[in-house]
Amino acid sequence: MKGPVLLLICLLLIGLSFWLFQNGLRKAQTNRVLERLGDGQPEAHEQQTTWTGLERMFLRAGLGKPTERLGLWISGWVVGALFGYLFADGLGLVVMIVSPPVAVRMYVAWCYQRRVQRMIEQLPQLLDHSVRSLKSGRTLADAVLGGIENVENPLKEAMGRVQRNVRMGVSLPDSVSDFAEFYERDEFRLFALGLKVNHRYGGNASELLENLIKMIREREQGARQLKAMTGETRMTAYVLGGLPILIVGYFIVVNPGYLMTMWNDDTGRNLLFGALAMDVTGTVAMWRMLRSV
């Protein structure tokens, strides 16, 4: 029974690969033409769709728009679920249905945290360049935009939305405020708030940016000290959360019949589900405790 099903899946994958290849070539040609036509033009406002939240997560993580490859992701998910059902029946089906979305969500969150942390580390460099430009006689908007041009990625790429909004006629404080709300970090919000205050009430912009640089560096130093002080606690949480998974993996490799005996028994199955629920609950609780420190 598995042979014909696997053959059918292989044929479907071959057909899908040819269709995706042709579709990718057509899209690449169309995108190149549209980029040449729209070079230097303001971007159109994107319509709100049901995938806006998903696209927001991927864009903040620097992974592009997932809807462009949505068909490929769904096809791979379905094929993985079929393989899981073929090799492990119902348990494999459930695992392959649940694990890919969870893994993708965790990977996107990790990429976002890593990218935004790098952006915050680069922000003092941008502000320092803006301060030097202000002292040389340039306006605040020109100084900030010039700082964006001289900073490296990923901050330069992320703040490209600020440059596009300014070209479209939006004021610099509003553009930076939109950028700060998109990435949801206090450092960017303070930067936007400082620009709004200076734009509305005036004042010494260079002194404001210098104080912001000092504050960001002090917060970064405090975060590093706190991370060093809580290293033992975090390591304990990692060990306690991963130990049950490692033990289960050890039994599957060394003595798989032991767990299968429990799985085939109703009481043993309930005990395994109870242990899994307690492990997940304890891991989530420890993770929230660490996040609150």
The predicted pLDDT at position 46 comes to: 46
Query: Does residue 206 sit in the same domain as residue 268?
Result: no
Query: Does residue 249 sit in the same domain as residue 200?
Result: no
Cα of 75 vs its chain's centroid, Å:
22
Question: Is residue 110, in this structure, part of any structural domain at all?
Answer: no
Query: Does residue 192 sit in the same domain as residue 263?
Result: no
Of the three residues 182, 216, 250, the one that is the final residue of a domain is 216
Task: Give the pair of three-digit tokens for residue 57.
Answer: 């997560």
Question: Is residue 17, in this structure, part of any structural domain at all?
Answer: no
Question: Is residue 281, in this structure, part of any structural domain at all?
Answer: yes
Q: What is the dihedral of CA 87, 91, 96, 102, to 10 degrees?
A: -150
Query: Does residue 197 sit in the same domain as residue 274?
Result: no
Query: Does residue 211 sit in the same domain as residue 241?
Result: no
Closest CA to 209 of 285, 129, 286: 129
pLDDT digits over 55-111, tens only?
778 788 777 776 666 667 777 777 777 777 777 667 677 777 888 888 888 888 888
How many structural domains are present in the chain? 2
Domain that holds residue 171: 118-216
The CA distance from 10 to 210, in Å, is 61
Query: Does residue 130 sit in the same domain as residue 197?
Result: yes
Residue linked to tokens 């269709």: 19
Question: Is residue 250, in this structure, part of any structural domain at all?
Answer: yes
Cα of 196 vs its chain's centroid, Å:
28
Question: Is residue 8, in this structure, part of any structural domain at all?
Answer: no
Q: How many CA atoms are closer than 13 Å to the CA of 5, on its beta-carbon side?
A: 9
Q: What is the dihedral of CA 246, 98, 77, 2, to 10 degrees?
A: 70
Query: Does residue 123 sit in the same domain as residue 199?
Result: yes
The CA distance from 139 to 202, in Å, is 12
Question: Is residue 285, in this structure, part of any structural domain at all?
Answer: yes
Closest CA to 97 of 85, 110, 106: 85
Query: Does residue 206 sit in the same domain as residue 280?
Result: no
The predicted pLDDT at position 1 comes to: 47
Question: Is residue 94, in this structure, part of any structural domain at all?
Answer: no
Query: Does residue 129 sit in the same domain as residue 209?
Result: yes
Query: What CATH number is given to the structural domain containing 173?
Result: 1.20.81
The CA distance from 243 to 259, in Å, is 16
Of the three residues 216, 245, 269, the one that is the final residue of a domain is 216
Question: Is residue 135, in this structure, part of any structural domain at all?
Answer: yes
For residue 154, cis peptide bond before it (omega within 30 degrees of 0): yes
DSSP 8-state symbol, 48: P
Closest CA to 176 of 206, 197, 150: 197
Render each residue's pLDDT in the chain as its tens digit; 293 residues.
455 555 556 656 666 666 666 666 666 666 665 555 444 444 444 444 445 677 778 788 777 776 666 667 777 777 777 777 777 667 677 777 888 888 888 888 888 888 888 888 888 888 888 888 888 888 888 888 888 888 888 888 888 888 888 888 888 888 888 888 888 888 888 888 888 888 888 777 888 888 888 888 888 888 778 777 777 777 877 787 778 878 877 877 788 777 778 778 888 888 888 888 887 787 777 777 766 65
The predicted pLDDT at position 84 comes to: 74
Residue 289 neighbours by CB under 8 Å, 6+ apart: 237
The CA distance from 32 to 39, in Å, is 10
Query: Does residue 125 sit in the same domain as residue 162?
Result: yes
CB-count exposure of residue 253 (10 Å: 0-12, 13-18, 19+): exposed
Q: How many CB atoms lie within 10 A of CB 144?
A: 28
Which letter, b or e, does each residue of 188-218 get, where b requires 16 or more Cβ atoms within 10 Å of its Cβ?
Answer: bbbbbbbbbebbeeeeebbebbeebbeebee
